[in-house]
Amino acid sequence: MYVEKYVASGNDFIIFHTFHACDRAKLAQELCHRQNGIGADGLIVLLPPCSQSYNFIWQFYNADGSVADMCGNGSRAVALYAYTHNLAPSKLSFLSGAGVIYAEVYDDNNVEVCFGVPKIIKQNLKEYGRESWLINTGVPHLVILDTELDNLTTSQLKHIRDKYNANVNIVCLFQGQLRVRTFERGVEAETFACGTGMAAAFVVACSKRWMAQEGIVIPASNEELYFRFAGEKLFFKGKVQKVCGTIVA
């Protein structure tokens, strides 16, 4: 089996396409293992479409083998993979657990994805004395507003992740820039970036008028990523890189 590895904003994914749908949770654990496998935050498998309304279906697995409905950085990576392998045109769509996702691949390997309409589940929560919002941008995220990114420990973020069964994002506005630190479920650790998490942070920042309807969000990878609203729909754009391809047994 031939697989490729892609990186989008510090999140890395192992990707391949096949005609055969099956449970690949164990395969995801094996391939994504940092010491005994290739190493990645997730496994993405492309399957043929069941409808002419989209180009392919994806299966997305976190590194622990759990399934996620949506992944912002993963959706950008899979769009570039599909376009590179002539599985889809530069303007494409695919079916995820969160519904049909629309994306566009540009000549410089920048990829823009439409998240659809984000859903604010609950505002004015308090975690460790800090204002928090529960947002769904394809998957649930708890966004915690703070003055510094490192005020809460990783164990505190893990506690919050378990409490809400959601990803957790610390967000602060520093010198006019929106910065985000993320603890991701499925990976069960902090990651360099999370597309849906940055999207959730951007929704809160716009709601609080920290930012206008478009702007830059900076994750732990220090990459500048572009978010914008077009009406009620949220779009996310950033560069994607193919790292390697290899044959696995």
Q: Tell me the β-bridge partners of 171.
A: 145, 180
CA dist., res. 42 & res. 61, Å (int) = 5
CA dist., res. 50 & res. 48, Å (int) = 7
CB 226 within 8 A of CB 95: no
What's at 75, amino acid-wise? S
Catalytic residue among 22, 50, 172, 194: 194
Could you give the angle at the alpha carbon of 242 between the alpha carbons of 12 and 52, nearest 5°? 90
Q: Tell me the β-bridge partners of 131.
A: 126
User: Can 114 be counted among the known catalytic residues?
Assistant: no
Radius of gyration of the chain (CA): 17
Q: Which residues contact 45 (CB under 8 A, 6 or more apart)?
A: 15, 16, 17, 18, 24, 58, 59, 61
CB 240 within 8 A of CB 111: yes
CA dist., res. 126 & res. 128, Å (int) = 7
Catalytic residue among 32, 71, 172, 206: 71
User: Can 172 be counted among the known catalytic residues?
Assistant: no
Catalytic residues: 71, 194
